[in-house]
Amino acid sequence: MSEQNVAQIEFANVGAVARKNRVLRNTYLLLALSMVPTVIGAWFGVASGLSQTMLASPGVSLIVFLVGAFGFMFAIEKNKESGLGVALLLAFTFFMGVMLSRLIGAVLGMANGAQLVGMAFAGTSLIFFGMAALGTVIKRDLTGMGKFLFVGAMIVFASSLLMFFFPVKAFIMALVVMMLVIFSLYILYDINQVVNGGETNYITATMSIYMNVYNVFSALLSILGITSKE
């Protein structure tokens, strides 16, 4: 192999690493930005009393959540190569914040509700940074892991619909614990995909990781609420 070919290969490798780092950096920046409309949406839902309305109409809330979430995700994926994709993602995170206000409002109604929300936030942060560090350090391709996580996520989704009709406390606890484990591992998986070049679009990567963090926080807050003395 000539020196010129070696130089070209090295240049291509450097370029590939630079692209991966750029996608990872943009993903983290957009993920941090997406938390702002989420917090605003959650605050709006609680402050406006919308969270109580959703608690009073769980069936309607479920339909709105499913239609809104899947509609936004479809639109974001269709526009992931343009600035519109970013705008749709931020609108999506606001919507998810509003939907999260139902759970936050219920927990805040407890005597130690604010403390529980703070604990869930702290726990989610620890899980995210821990899994992000692992996902960056582990150089092995974890693509095979995605199949098992997808099956687990589908089980959680189907079980959550079943839970809606049969809200047994023990069943709910088992479900949210499973949800916590699966989406914590999904953070590791999705970040590893970006690091290894399996995901090259930062908008798609942000949406995936955002949903993981959202579900981890929801699971932690649910566990804390269920195990609270109230």
Q: Where are the domains of the chain?
A: 3-227
pLDDT given at position 58 = 83
**Tokens describing residue 22:** 């750029």
Of 210, 154, 178, the C-alpha closest to 30 is 210
Averages of pLDDT over each 10 residues, the chain, 230 residues: 46 55 91 96 93 86 91 95 94 96 91 92 96 85 84 89 77 90 95 86 95 96 82
Measured in Å, how far apart are the chain's first and last C-alpha atoms?
A: 72
pTM score of the predicted model: 0.88
Number of residues written out for the chain: 230
Alpha-carbon gap, residue 212 to 188, rounded angstroms: 10
Rounded-to-10 torsion of CA 75, 61, 113, 187? -30
DSSP string computed for 42-74: HHHHHHTTHHHHHHH-HHHHHHHHHHHHHHHHH
Alpha-carbon gap, residue 221 to 87, rounded angstroms: 28
Q: Are 181 and 63 in contact, with CB atoms under 8 Å apart?
A: no
